[in-house]
A and B are shown apart, each in its own frame.
Chain A
């Protein structure tokens, strides 16, 4: 075994160890398992939020996307995610933290009490998050196969087993601890690599100027239909306010102020990392490897050509950290969609504690192994793939959530209609021939808004209790 193999092994065993330690606390309390007892500190939460958002897509995928589709297109997508956080801190953080339950489904079921919302919302979450998990596994697989020489399928299997293990037994506590370590690792590797490139080649301005002479497409806006640029931006701006694994971080914060501060601090750190990756590392990759078959391997090729085995070992650990820090959060959110949202009534009331705990542990295994089976035939350009999946979630949930929180006239009929219309239009446009990639959201969101406004005119108006409760979420 080489140094890189040892480093990765130590890292993976460390994650499992944290899961075991956390399990002693979390397996006896729902609050501890799903939201770490709602007492995660501000800085810790900021690092964990940053790590949860920084997926394999943010490390491997962002550079692959910039390499393959140009830097402006990539920035449009990631700027959307960054902007989504300050917006979420204003639009949803206070109210949902005051709401005090565990998931976004909890809020939507409270606000629009109907079986369609109760069952369809968790199902949509499971489908879109499984796609997100599959994309992350590809990142883990190609990293291990390029840098460690481990076959892709083996690498995917090992990474999957490790993160399922510590998520299933350690819950949100294990995820928080591992996310902080993973966040530090990712930040160090990306900013460290960028710093070394700058020391060798000059300022980012000099690097990007040189790279765009060799490959003008890198800096141009013409590579994709403009609907794709705007669509990818809008997907992520709107998704952050409803995406379950971020919402669970908000619910884990010790109070509202902490939640809001964490969200924005996380994004400042995240922005620094993305900007360093696309403005420094990608141009270097483009100059040195102008004709890569798989664009998603550009970061790995740069690491292999420029750094020693020890540094490469840290890079592999960092990519695995990026994959696992997001996938663990996705897996927990997915599990909560099934164990808490869909089956919660049965598990809590009708089953013995031991059986209930067994189901809570088993669900991540089922989802994780299912995603792994899909990951053996991975998608091209992982970031575009999972963005499309998250777009579906955004199309279905953004309008009901925001209108549910801010518009007094939003009622159950309007909520159901906006959910179904948003979802239906998104899927129709997404799979229609000739649609620009990631542009379906541009049709789905206006349709969802219209449905909310129109159908809220019908159906029963909200009760005074409901109105007062929602007011209380903004002003406790």
Chain B
């Protein structure tokens, strides 16, 4: 992977889709851990907890969907 003409990256190449997925997870996690999620309550539990539930189901789910789509 070259950033500019003649310059070679210091990192081994990663698939673009994988990189975007990791970035998405980092951003979602940061949003989850921001202070504002702690004070909002839905059905008695802080929004922080509900966002974590979404993360738990969504993170492996997205990879599996991508995997099956690639296979097809």
Which residues of A are at the interface with B, using a C-beta cutoff of 8 A?
Answer: 71-72, 75-76, 78-79, 82-83, 85-87, 89-90, 205, 208-209, 211-213, 216, 218-222, 229-230, 233, 257, 260-261, 263-265, 267-268, 271-272, 274-275, 279, 405-409, 470-471, 474
The distance from the CB of A4 to the nearest CB of chain B, in whole angstroms, is: 32
Q: Are A474 and B57 in contact (CB under 8 A)?
A: no
Which residues of chain B are near A230, meaning CB under 8 Å? 33
Decide if A218 touches B61 in the complex (CB within 8 Å): no
Instruction: Note all chain A residues with C-beta closer than 8 A to B49.
Output: 71-72, 75, 219, 221
**In the bound complex, do residue A221 and residue B67 qualify as a contact, i.e. CB atoms below 8 Å apart?**
no
**Main SS class of interface, A:** helix
A218 to B46, CA, bound (A): 10
The docked-state distance in angstroms from the alpha carbon of A291 to that of B67 is: 46
Number of residues from B at the complex interface, CB < 8 A: 32
- Supposing A230-B33, A264-B67 touch, asked if A86 and B60 sit within 8 A by C-beta, the answer is yes
Cα of A470 to Cα of B11 in the assembled complex, Å? 11
Q: Are A90 and B60 in contact (CB under 8 A)?
A: no
Out of B29, B43, B59, name the residue touching A86 (CB < 8 Å). Answer: B59
The CA of A218 and the CA of B14, in the complex, are separated in Å by 41
- Complex: A228 Cα to B57 Cα, angstroms: 23
Q: Are A474 and B55 in contact (CB under 8 A)?
A: no
Bound-state Cα–Cα, A471 to B9, Å:
13
CB contacts (< 8 Å) of A260 on chain B: these are 63, 67
Cα(A274)–Cα(B60), bound, Å: 14
- 13 new A-B pairs (CB below 8 Å) besides A219-B41, A279-B53? A72-B52, A75-B52, A76-B48, A83-B55, A86-B25, A86-B59, A90-B63, A216-B44, A221-B48, A260-B63, A261-B67, A264-B64, A271-B60
A134 to chain B, nearest CB (A): 27
Is A82 a contact of B56 with CB atoms below 8 Å? yes
Residues in chain A near residue B21, CB distance under 8 A: 86, 90
Q: Please measure, in the bound complex, the distance between the C-alpha atom of A474 and the C-alpha atom of B29, giving whole angstroms.
A: 27
With CB as the reference atom, state the residue of chain B lying closest to A230. B33
A38 to B12, CA, bound (A): 26
Interface residues of B, dominant DSSP: helix
Chain B's nearest CB lies how many Å from the CB of A275? 6
Please give, as numbers and ranges, the residues of chain B lying within 8 Å of A257 by CB-CB distance. Answer: 67
Given A82-B56, A90-B18, A271-B57, the answer on whether A212 and B44 have CB atoms closer than 8 Å is yes
- Between-chain CB contacts (< 8 Å), 8 pairs: A75-B52, A83-B56, A86-B21, A90-B63, A220-B46, A271-B56, A409-B10, A470-B12
Q: Once the chains bind, are A211 and B44 in contact (CB under 8 Å)? A: yes
Interface residue from B11, B46, B48, B59 paired with A83 (Cβ < 8 Å): B59
A229 touches B46 (CB 8 A): no
Smallest CB separation, A58 vs chain B (Å)? 13
Q: A90-B18, A408-B11 are in contact. Are A72 and B45 (CB under 8 A)?
A: yes
B22 is an interface residue with CB less than 8 A from chain A = yes
Chain A residues with CB under 8 Å of B64's CB are 261, 264-265, 268
Known: A71-B45, A71-B49, A87-B25. A474 touches B12 (CB 8 A): yes
How many Å from the CB of B40 to the closest CB on chain A?
Answer: 10
Residue in chain B with minimal CB distance to A214:
B44
Chain B neighbourhood of A267, CB < 8 A: 59-60
What's the Cα separation between A474 and B11 when bound, in Å?
A: 12
Can you list the 4 inter-chain pairs with the closest CB atoms, starting with the nearest?
A: A212-B44, A219-B45, A267-B60, A72-B49
Does B13 interact with chain A (Cβ within 8 Å)? yes
Residue of B44, B48, B63, B67 ringed by the most chain A CB atoms within 10 A: B44
Q: A75-B52, A90-B22 are in contact. Are A221 and B59 (CB under 8 A)?
A: no
B41 to chain A, nearest CB (A): 7
Q: How far is the CB of A91 from chain B (nearest CB, A)?
A: 8
B44 and A213 contacting across the interface, CB-CB below 8 Å: yes
- Chain B residues contacting A263 (CB-CB under 8 Å) are 60
Nearest CB on A from B32, distance (A): 9
Q: Which of A82, A272, A407 contacts B11 (CB 8 A)?
A: A407
A246 to B34, CA, bound (A): 31
The CA of A394 and the CA of B68, in the complex, are separated in Å by 31
- Report B29 CB to chain A, min CB distance, Å: 7
A83-B25, A86-B59 in contact; A405/B48 too (CB < 8 A)? no
Most chain A CB inside 10 Å of its own CB: which residue of B9, B11, B52, B61: B52
Is B22 within 8 A of A275, CB to CB?
no
The contact of A275 among B9, B12, B48, B56, by CB within 8 Å, is B56
